Amino acid sequence: MTTYRREIILFALLAILYGAVFTLFGAAYGLRMSVEALCYALVALGLTIQWGYAGLFNAGVMGFVAIGAFMTVLVSFPPNMAFWNSDMPARLGTVALYAIAGAALTWGATRLNRLGVPSRLRTLIAVMTGAAAWLVVSAALDPVARDIERQAGFIGGFGLPVLLGWVAGGAAAGAVAWFVGRICLGLRSDYLAIATLGIAEIVKALLKNADWLTKGTLTVSPLPWPVPTPEQVGFIWGRALYLALMATLVVVAWALLERAWRAPWGRMMRAIRDNETAAAAMGKNVNRRRLEIFVLGSVLMGAGGAALITFTRIFDPAGFLPLNHTFLIWVMIILGGAGSNLGAVFGALFVYVVWVMSEPAALLLFDAVREAGQAWFGWQAPADLDSRALQARVFVIGLTITLVLRYAPAGLIPEKATMQAPRPSAREKN
Amino acid sequence: MNEIVFFINKVLVAGLVTGSIYAMGAVGVTLVFAILRFAHFAHGDLMTLGAFIAFALTAAFPHAGAIFGLPTAFVMLPAAMALTALLAIWIDGRFYRPLRERGAKPVVLVMASVGVTLMIQGLLRLFAGTGTRSMFIAERKDIFRIELPFELARRKIVITEPQILVILFAVVAAISLHWFLTRTRTGKAMRAMSDNPDLARLSGIDTQQVVRTTWIIAGSLAAAAGTLLSLDVALKPDMSFNILLPIFAAAIVGGVGQPYGAIAGGFLVGFAEVLSVFNWAILLRPFRPLLDGVVELPTHLAFVPTEYKLTVPFVILVAVLVWRPTGIFRGKVI
């Protein structure tokens, strides 16, 4: 029988912390922080199953968050009539047809060996067809994109319900994860980290520069909400409704994961993580299972990212930072306890408050340093001291990661050894 | 002819410079991969750190370069390399060795190196701010314009002093690395440990010594690459994640654990980047009168817009992982 004393104490402390935020900064601010923390919790649940259940290092959480956010803009933002009433949708459709034709030709070229073409020649032909198709499509897209930017700004969204946008966000993130996972899983574990790091930066570059699609750095706002917006019902009510929605989503996701974890599926995942060779010998398809969990985790990340950006009401591709949207989430889950869903939720709620509060705290601290430096040593502080103070938090994040890995690899709420399987007690848990 | 000179300026020189930088970074990454068996994510920031050390030394002695007739930062390079190497050994002892001794999985070490990269970033920005700086404090960047002895070429080949230094330094570094790995005892021990760590330990090789040497080589090459890159362009505190992907791609293309492969991979990735953002329409310009009225030539014809340069190393990485995960030089996969 496992006891939950540790969890109860930690969550009670968390409740006190949130109570303090609510009383000190007012309900509107407290609600905003709680909603954002819950969005992070959804992303953290996605990451904890990748890392804790399967030991997959996803260094590009930001990319999946950004994909989810972009998809929700595309699906749920009101349609841009200046675009739809022009001839541009038709021209864009033509480009899409070019792209499909190019892809089909390239795919056909890769099959030429069936017709008796030597395979080396086939590869050459396929690569050349692909390059030519790429050049033609990008040359065709350029003028259309330029016209859209000049005349309509961007293509706008489809005006569909927001929750559908979140689902689409999760699905798109999952699709990208499937592509990355297919290539990298089964090779050495570091390759996945490298590839996800790359895909995150590429997604960001794409969203930032494809102005015709995303409005780029001009940002899209205000994003529609799945619940009544603050303009309709006031700040407190709007945010409270959003909070209720997010709390439901997190609890549902948590309950489903917890159930899966106790089911045969979860047992199989633990077996694969703890002893890959033995699991493979038992006939488990290790790479396939890993791909499954990688996609599942990324779906949660995409949906969480969509929820987060919807709440902030502004889609700003330049606002996606590896620090806020990848490494902060890493701190959340390793501090909370890898492989423990409750730990991930606790870590997200706790670390987010600390993170938000650390901003004024860092500014205050550096102000004190500046005063003291001037008074005692006549030190002339650099003009950008405030931005430097915020950068100092990067150091703290890094220090937390290394310290937790070294001294408390199991986290604050460690994964519980569950029922049936008697497990070796000295197992290294990371 | 002018078009060819333009091609040399934009592709040959730029490709050699970028390739040299990537090669120096990739050698360090591949050695850490081979000896310590994890992807060292802090390598980009090790480069930035080395560049900042060189910058600090340059700021302390701004006129030292004039004695040798070289940029001061280049004269300070040996000192910066030594300091960065020491720091790399210290970082290993503080953050990686305890995990290694606990028997943690490689992926945990990867994460620790991410923690280290964030710490270095935070400290650099705290003490040096976020702005861009020039490595030339008390002197100017020399630019050479070489005239070609042809009537047709009115353009000149343009190459700057830092660019020449990068290429020369990379050649010297590659030759000394080759000499070290094949002729010295420690170098041979390193190769043995990379091939089979257990056997190496059994044969009495001092593994701690090998690990230290690895960090010395990786740290000093990273410092050199970082300093030379900032001499060529400018000193920026935020280059780490952008340079990490090409360096990893280079190391994997060359075959993990293969220093010569990493050098080849570095130049391959460097040239691929330069060639894919190059505007090919310029080379077609001389044919314009011939094709007039037949085909309309576009004014801009590049494979990848400059903003998406980062996709090039990624595509190379994906292609290698799909078709030849061991890399060109048959590296280790485990």
Measure the CA–CA gap between B169 and B20, rounded to whole angstroms.
9
| A248 at B interface, C-beta within 8 A | no
**Residue bearing the bigger pLDDT, B298 or A362:** A362
Enter the tokens of residue A362.
């860092």
Measure the CA–CA gap between B187 and B177, rounded to whole angstroms.
9
- Which residues of B are less than 8 Å from A391 in CB distance? 121-122, 125-126, 130
Count CB neighbours of B334 within 10 A: 7
Measure the CA–CA gap between A156 and A92, rounded to whole angstroms.
14
A215-222: long-range pairs with CB below 8 Å, 24+: A215/A153, A215/A154, A215/A315, A216/A317, A217/A316, A217/A317, A217/A318, A218/A153, A219/A314, A219/A315, A219/A316, A219/A317, A220/A73, A220/A77, A220/A154, A220/A314, A220/A315, A221/A313, A221/A314, A221/A315, A222/A313, A222/A314
Q: Which residue ranges in chain A fall short of pLDDT 50?
A: 1, 421-422, 425-430
The residues in B 219-278 lying below 8 A from A, measured between CB atoms, are 241-242, 244-245, 248, 252, 256
Predicted pLDDT at B152 = 66
Q: What is the pLDDT of residues B69-89, one digit of tens each?
A: 888 888 889 999 999 999 999
Instruction: Please give the share of chain B, as a percent, with pLDDT higher than 90.
Output: 37
| B325 at A interface, C-beta within 8 A | yes
Predicted pLDDT at A427 = 47
Query: Residue B108 in contact with residue B39, Cβ under 8 Å?
Result: no
Instruction: Please give the share of chain B, as a percent, with pLDDT higher than 70.
Output: 94
For domain A5-78+158-407, the question of CATH label 1.10.3470 is answered with yes
- C-alpha A53, offset from chain centre: 17
- Which residues of A are less than 8 Å from B303 in CB distance? 131, 134-135
Taking all residues of chain B, what is their mean pLDDT, rounded to a whole number? Answer: 86
Predicted pLDDT at A419 = 53
Look at residues B18, B1, B20 and name the one whose alpha carbon lies nearest to residue B276.
B18
Q: What is the pLDDT of residues A192-245, one digit of tens each?
A: 888 998 899 889 988 988 888 888 888 888 888 898 888 888 888 999 999 999
pTM for this one? Answer: 0.89
Pick from A55, A201, A391: CB nearest B125: A391
- Which residues of A are less than 8 Å from B112 in CB distance? 401-402, 405-406
Look at residues B139, B141, B134 and name the one whose alpha carbon lies nearest to residue B158.
B141
Enter the tokens of residue A125.
């032909």
Assess if residue B332 is contained within a domain: no
Query: Residue A335 in contact with residue A219, Cβ under 8 Å?
Result: no
The answer for residues whose C-beta is within 8 angstroms of residue A25's C-beta and 6 or more apart is none
H/E stretch holding A358 reads: helix A341-377
Count CB neighbours of B195 within 10 A: 12
Assess if residue B331 is contained within a domain: no
Query: Residue B80 in contact with residue B53, Cβ under 8 Å?
Result: yes
Longest dimension (CA), chain B: 75
Assess if residue B334 is contained within a domain: no
Domain boundaries, chain A: 5-78+158-407, 81-153
Predicted pLDDT at B157 = 81
The boundaries of the domain holding residue B308 are 2-323
Q: Where residue B120 falls among pLDDT bands split at 50, 70, 90?
A: very high
Assess if residue B79 is contained within a domain: yes
The answer for residues whose C-beta is within 8 angstroms of residue A356's C-beta and 6 or more apart is A33
Enter the tokens of residue B94.
């503080």
Number of folded domains that form chain B: 1
Q: What is the pLDDT of residues B209-258, one digit of tens each?
A: 999 999 999 999 999 999 999 988 888 887 777 889 999 999 999 888 88
Whether B32 has a pLDDT exceeding 60, the answer reads yes
Residue A382 to residue B108, Cβ atoms within 8 A:
no
What CATH number corresponds to the domain at position B179? 1.10.3470
The residues in A 174-213 lying below 8 A from B, measured between CB atoms, are 183-184, 187-191, 193-195, 197-199, 201-202, 205-206, 208-209
Q: What is the pLDDT of residues B87-112, one digit of tens each?
A: 999 999 999 999 988 888 888 899 99
Residue A199 to residue B104, Cβ atoms within 8 A:
no
